Amino acid sequence: MKVLIVDDDPHLRALYKEEFEDEGYEVMIAGSGAEALEMFEKNIPDVVTLDILMPGMDGIEVLRKMKEKKPDLPIIMSTAYDYRDDFSVWASDAYVVKSADLAELKSTIKKLTAK
Amino acid sequence: MLDFSKKIKDANSALITGQLSAQDNGFHNSMTLFAGLRVIFQEINQLEDGEKQLQRLIEFFCLELKAKGCLIRLKDCTGAITIVSAVGLSEDEIYMLGQKSGNLVPLKVFESGKVVAVENLSLSANEYAHKGLLMKSMVCVPIKSAGRVIGTIELYDKFNIVDGSTTVFTAEDGNNCETMVIIFSMAIERALLYIENNKIKKTSQRTSKRIDIFFNNVRSAILIIKKDLTIVSANKAIENWIDINYLSLVGKNASEVFKEGNKCLCPQSVAVQTFETGKSAINNLVIKGRYAEITSYPIFDTDKAGASVINECIVMIRDTTDRILCQNEVMELYKSVTQTKDRLESLIQNSADAIITTTLDGNVLTWNKSAERIFGFTAEEAVSSYLPFLPNDFIDKHNKYVQIIKKGETLKEIETKGLRKDLTLVPMSLTVSPITDKNGIISSVSIIARDISRRKQVEDELTKNSQRLSRLFIIGSAMRGTLEINKLLRMVLTVVTATDGFGFNRAILFFYDDDKKALKGTMGVGPASYEEAWHMWRQMPLPSKTLSERIYDIEKDITEGLLNLDEYFINIEIPIDRQCYLTRAVKDRKAFNIKDATTEVELEPLYIDQLATRAYAVVPMISRNEVIGVLWIDNKFNMQPITNEDMGYLSMFADYVATAVESARLFEKAKLTEKELENIFESINDLLFITDNKYNIVKINRAVSEMLNEPISSIIGQKCYKVFHGLDAPSPKCPHFSTMEKEKPVIKEYEGFHHKSNDTYSISTSPLLDLNGKCIGVVHIGSNIMELTRLRKQLSKIEKVAALGEMAARLAHEIRNPLVSIGGFARRLEKKLSPPLNDYARIILEEVFRLEALLKQTIGFVRETKIGKDTVDLNALLLSVIQSIQHTIRKDVSIDYHLSTQTLEVEGDPGRLTDVFVNLINNAEQAIEGTGRIIIRTRKEFNHAVVEVEDTGSGIDEQTMESIFEPFYTTKTTGSGLGLTIIQKILEEHKGIITVKSKQGVGTIFKVNLNLKEVISQ
């Protein structure tokens, strides 16, 4: 099971990588939208977590591009701020507010990958 | 008296002296006497001059008869007696003796033929002494020839030869003297003959000299020609005609010198005639442009036998060119004068004016044709009678005029009346002027009388017209002052029908309605029938009021019982395409005067049936080049014909009316607009007021009055700065002030605009400019923006909050990320570390959680429920959606809706639900290619509210059907592909579902199910 983590914060990427690898996932990490799409092309993950607010291409655009390619791929929006007023994020499969407690994120991934 | 004795002594010969000495004793010795006589005779004979002979003779007489003086008088052939010679007498004495008083004695001697001796002259004839003549005695002896006294010899004062003293002549001396005269009479006669011959010689010399001068200087050429045509003599003037020296002509034959011929100078031919006839002959000819008159005169001579013969004749050639030219000129002049005279006469005869000449007493001398025509008297009747055309009452005046004329003045264009033969009067204009004869004396009078009856008529006409025009003008000004259209129309019709207006019997106004394309009867006045007419005129036998008074009454709404044709014609409509004069007046823009409607093809039953008229006129009313209506008039009742003049005035009037009506209509429109504006002005909630350019409030609306809490009337007229700001002068803070200064609109927010309130007003001031661009006031619009200000403040607060929120969100993001890292790694540490270190990690983790909770709490960025909990009436919501979307839908797509009669209330967010249906309808529209329908239905199914959006589009194939709800899936070239995904999400949040049914080529139905509110609450 491959998880693609997209976040511009290197510490968070490190945390997520360790945590999800502990959970038994194969973890891919990308520091920007562009890097994420590049990886996505080469190696299609089973689930994606996307930060919204990133320099350069933001998470919403990445979400759109990925959904265009692979509408079935579950994508979780993981963000520090609530963007759910924005229609565009509605295309994502889940929305998780970042927290030091990663339990919600983990359960969401588990739920989505279980389908 | 001269001392003659001495002279004799000195001058005379010794012989005589000797004789004289011997004479002391008288004539005793005859021998001596004869010798003396011989001497003296010889002496006298030697003298050739007769006068000198006489002189010598009387000297001898003096000597011999011892007289101091002697003279000789002679009577000539005319009988005049003159002193021929004198001696021993002074010139004065000779002069005296030549006078009447001095020749008394000689005259007696001439008469009597006898000797007279006077001893003392002073005794017998006083004059001698009186005249200062000192002679005392005299002897006068007659000189006789053939028994006739031809002269006298007088001796004066005998002197004494011894002492020289004077003695008297005696009778003896007289006898002696007589004897001597007899002796010397022959000598005297001879001397007289000498004198006479001399005289004749002198005269003939002089005459011949004169003739020569005349002959050679006369301008006419003169020839003397003999019978054989030899030229005897020629004068210099002949050289004017022939190129030969005149002297050389003499002796030549005329026929050789002058060529015979028609155009040649030929004096001989005239001369030949004279020689043949014995009479003078004449010939005229033209030679090289010169006229010549050749005349020959015979010279009579006597032949030896005493018969009269003509041997020579004089030919005179006169250059008559000048004379003939002059004559021709005179002839021409005469001709032209005659012509002028003829013309003048014909002018006088044919002049349109009567031209009359009279004597100063007024007796007619000449009387021309026009005088005949104008006054009716023939020339025969008028001439030599006293001014027949003068009315009796004008005679005195005319006499006055004659007095003026006599002074040489002319009276011009006196307007008076002339009397015709038939005793009628004719208006005329007289011009009376004097006629002077060739000596400049005023001898007669000329009268030019012009018949001015035509002019008078025209003048009267003009006066009438000008009255009519001035009436029009009065009416016009009244009409101008009337802007109420009904009043105006009534005025118009009154003018047209009033006796002192146009005086037509009836008038109707039709107006053209451009929308209906028809003429519409608007108003009419006049009686409808004879009965009414009779009634009306009996009621008002005389117009009690003048037209202007009636116009005034109409203006003041004092109406008078006018008979109206309204009931017949009001609202009658004549379509413009119907052929009749009314419509033609509109179409052709022409007035028509229909003399007889019954013969006209273009009849209109209206006129015949309802108006029962035969003759009428229609006049278009044209304003600004548009026919706005037609004025119809007739004279049914008094049968007065409608003249062209009437038509002219009517046309003028109609145009005038059209303009007035147009302005009245405009005025009504303006009034309406004004009213509307007034309404707006009043009903507007903003403050609205107008000030003049002196800050006086001119107009305010209700809002102002309400704000100031004072009635409108007490505000108007006050200074605005006083009313609003409580000041005594304009405030520079007020935009009004700036507008007044710069004459430009100003908008300003003004806190405390009204001095009794702190409210802020937005004040807009605009200058009110007159037509010349001059600022005459200011329009103010003020609105209380207190509420706005409050809202604005709130908004800015919200904006601040929002900005804060944005910042907080960013901050949250920035904080949350490290918190997640800190917390996440702390958790990992907690797991990996053993006590007591794992506790430390757990404390860090807990603190992180606390911070996260704080973050979540303070910023509240995660909304627990994002869906509103409003009660939504689906039917109402759909109606408003349809309404708002309708205009964005293509025209070939229609929206039908069948909404349930039951109220379908659901709980939810109306905004979100609106989004759902807008999206569904938009999708439906896009599914339709070309024309089609969208059908919207609502109904209740069990405990659900159902909304169906159906389209008649192409439908969706099965393959597509599977992915239509997937995000970013789209079949369209535009769009995000999120539409259905979003709809599905919203509906999920509302616990609703969306399903789709589609058939290709038929259409698609999206069905939305939502829980009804009752169900939820249950």
pLDDT tens, position by position, B280-324: 888 888 887 888 888 888 888 888 888 888 888 888 888 888 888
Asked if the bond preceding B836 is cis, omega within 30° of 0, the reply is yes
Flag whether residue A87 sits within 8 Å of chain B, measured between CB atoms: yes
Q: Which superfamily is assigned to B218-319 in CATH?
A: PAS domain (3.30.450.20)
Q: What is the pLDDT of residue B16?
A: 40
Q: Which residue has the higher pLDDT, B738 or B805?
A: B738
Judge whether A103 is closer than 8 Å to chain B, CB to CB: no
Query: Would the CB atoms of B863 and A11 count as touching at under 8 Å?
Result: no
Among A54, A55, A77, residue whose Cα is nearest residue A64 = A77
Q: Which of A10-14, B34-38, B986-990 has the highest mean pLDDT?
A: A10-14
pLDDT at B250: 86
Burial-class residue B356 by CB neighbours within 10 Å (0-12, 13-18, 19+): buried
The whole-number average pLDDT for the span B1001-1016 is: 82
Residue of chain B whose alpha carbon sits nearest to that of A92: B967
Give the least confident one: B19-23, B182-186, B898-902, B977-981. Answer: B19-23
Distance from CA of A31 to the nearest CA of B (A): 14
Contact A71 B967 (CB under 8 A): yes
Task: Reply yes or no on whether the pLDDT at B787 is more than 80.
Answer: no
Phi, psi of B399 (to 5 degrees): -60, -40
Spatial distance between the Cα atoms of B518 and B574, rounded to a whole number of angstroms: 5
Q: Which of the four pLDDT bands, split at 50, 70 and 90, describes residue B24?
A: very low
- A80 inside 8 A of chain B by CB: yes
Rank B338-347, B637-646, B831-840 by mean pLDDT and report only the highest. B831-840
Q: Which residue of B has its CA nearest to A16?
A: B824
On the question of pLDDT at B1 being above 60, the answer is no
Q: Which superfamily does B4-201 belong to?
A: GAF domain (3.30.450.40)
* Residue A49's pLDDT band (cuts 50, 70, 90): very high
B874/chain A closest Cα distance in angstroms? 22
Predicted local distance difference test score (pLDDT) of residue B1011: 87
Q: Which residues of chain B does A97 touch, with a Cβ-Cβ cutoff of 8 Å?
A: 861-862
CA distance B983 to B977: 11
Give the model confidence (pLDDT) of B105-151 as tens digits. Answer: 888 888 888 888 887 776 655 555 545 566 778 888 888 877 788 88
Which pLDDT value is given to residue A28? 92
Cα separation, B102 vs B126, in Å, equals: 10
CA diameter of chain B: 251
Looking at residue B6, its pLDDT comes to 47
Produce one character per residue of B464-497: b if its CB has 16 or more CB atoms within 10 Å, e if not. eeeebeebbeebbebbeebbbbebbbbbbbbbbb
Q: Work out the minimum CA distance from A1 to partner chain B, whole angstroms.
A: 22
Check CB contact under 8 Å for A100 and B861. Answer: no
> What three-state secondary structure class fits B440?
coil
CATH code: domain B459-670 is 3.30.450.40
Tokens of B171: 């009778």
Burial class (CB in 10 A: 0-12, 13-18, 19+), B922: middle
Q: B886: buried, middle or exposed (CB in 10 Å: 19+, 13-18, 0-12)?
A: exposed
Which pLDDT value is given to residue B863?
Answer: 43
The mean-pLDDT minimum among B172-181, B860-869, B968-977 falls in B860-869
CATH architecture group of domain A2-107: 3-Layer(aba) Sandwich (3.40)
Indicate whether B503 pLDDT > 90.
no
Q: Region B746-763: what's the mean pLDDT?
A: 85
Residues B263, B255: Cα–Cα separation, whole Å: 15
Structural contact between residues B153 and B71, judged by C-beta atoms closer than 8 angstroms:
yes
pLDDT above 90 coverage of chain A, percent: 17
**pLDDT top residue among B974 and B938:** B938
Contact: A81, B826; criterion CB under 8 Å: no
- Taking CA atoms, what residue in B is nearest to A78? B817
A11 CB within 8 Å of a chain B CB: yes
pLDDT at A30: 92
The answer to whether the CB of B296 falls within 8 A of the CB of B331 is no
Best A5, A8, A11, A51 residue to mutate vs chain B (most B CBs within 10 Å): A11
**Chain B residues with beta carbon closer than 8 angstroms to that of A101:** 823, 827, 849
Per the CB < 8 Å rule, is B866 touching A85? Answer: yes
Query: In angstroms, rounded to a whole number, what is the distance separating the alpha carbons of residues B811 and A80?
Result: 10
Residue A4 has pLDDT above 90, yes or no: yes
- State residue B174's pLDDT score: 85
What pLDDT is attached to residue B23? Answer: 44
- Confidence class for position A26, pLDDT limits 50, 70, 90: very high
Q: Of the candidates A67, A72, A100, which has its C-beta nearest B824's C-beta?
A: A100
Q: Which two tokens stand for residue B105?
A: 């004695």
Is the pLDDT confidence value at A17 over 80? yes
Residue range B194-233, pLDDT digits in tens: 888 888 888 888 888 887 887 777 778 888 888 888 888 8
The string of pLDDT tens digits covering residues B64-81 is: 888 888 888 888 778 888
Answer whether B627's CB lies under 8 Å from B586's CB.
Answer: yes
CATH number of B870-1017: 3.30.565.10
Taking the Cβ of residue A102 and every Cβ of chain B, the question of whether any pair is shorter than 8 Å is answered with: yes
- Taking an 8 Å cut-off on Cβ atoms, the answer to whether A71 and B966 are in contact is yes
For the residues B392-399, what does the mean pLDDT come to? 78
Contacts B968 to A, Cβ<8 Å = 64, 67-68, 71, 91
* Predicted confidence band of residue A47 (pLDDT cuts 50, 70, 90): very high
Q: What is the ipTM of this complex?
A: 0.84
Chain B partners within 8 Å of A68 (Cβ): 968, 977
Lowest-confidence pick of A46-60, A84-98, B693-707, B940-954: A84-98
- B413, pLDDT greater than 70: yes
pLDDT value of position B8: 44
Beta strand segments in B608-694, E? 616-623, 626-634, 687-692
Assign domain B351-451 to its CATH superfamily: PAS domain (3.30.450.20)
Smallest CA–CA distance from A66 into chain B, residue: B968
Establish, for the pair of chains A and B, how many residue pairs have beta carbons separated by less than 8 Å: 90
> How far does the CA of residue B965 sit from the closest CA of chain A (Å)?
10
Task: Calculate the average pLDDT of chain B.
Answer: 79
**Residues with Cβ within 8 Å of residue B608, at least 6 apart in sequence:** B597, B598
**Higher per-residue pLDDT: A81 or B1012:** B1012
**Residue B14's pLDDT is what?**
36
Mutation pick from B810, B820, B914 vs chain A, by most beta carbons of A within 10 Å, is B820
At B214 the three-state DSSP class reads helix
Q: What is the DSSP letter of B76?
A: -
pLDDT for position B39: 82
Contact between residue A67 and residue A22 where contact means Cβ atoms under 8 Å apart: no
Q: Which fold has domain B684-784?
A: Beta-Lactamase (3.30.450)
Q: Decide if pLDDT at B395 tops 80.
A: no
State residue B22's pLDDT score.
39
Which has the higher per-residue pLDDT, B442 or B482?
B442
Reply yes or no on whether the pLDDT at B886 is more than 50: yes
Indicate the pLDDT class of residue B398, thresholds 50, 70 and 90: confident
**Closest Cα in chain A to B824:** A100
If one compares B911 and B21, the residue with the highest pLDDT of the two is: B911
Longest CA pairwise span in chain A (Å): 34
A68 touches chain B (CB under 8 A): yes
Reported confidence tier of residue A29, pLDDT bands at 50, 70, 90? very high
CB contact under 8 A, A18 and B828: yes
In the structure, what pLDDT confidence band is assigned to residue A85 with cuts at 50, 70 and 90? low
Chain B interface, Cβ < 8 Å to A:
809, 812-814, 816-828, 845, 848-849, 852, 861-863, 866, 963, 966-969, 976-978, 981-982, 985
Q: What is the pLDDT of residue B644?
A: 82
What is the model's pLDDT at position B3?
46
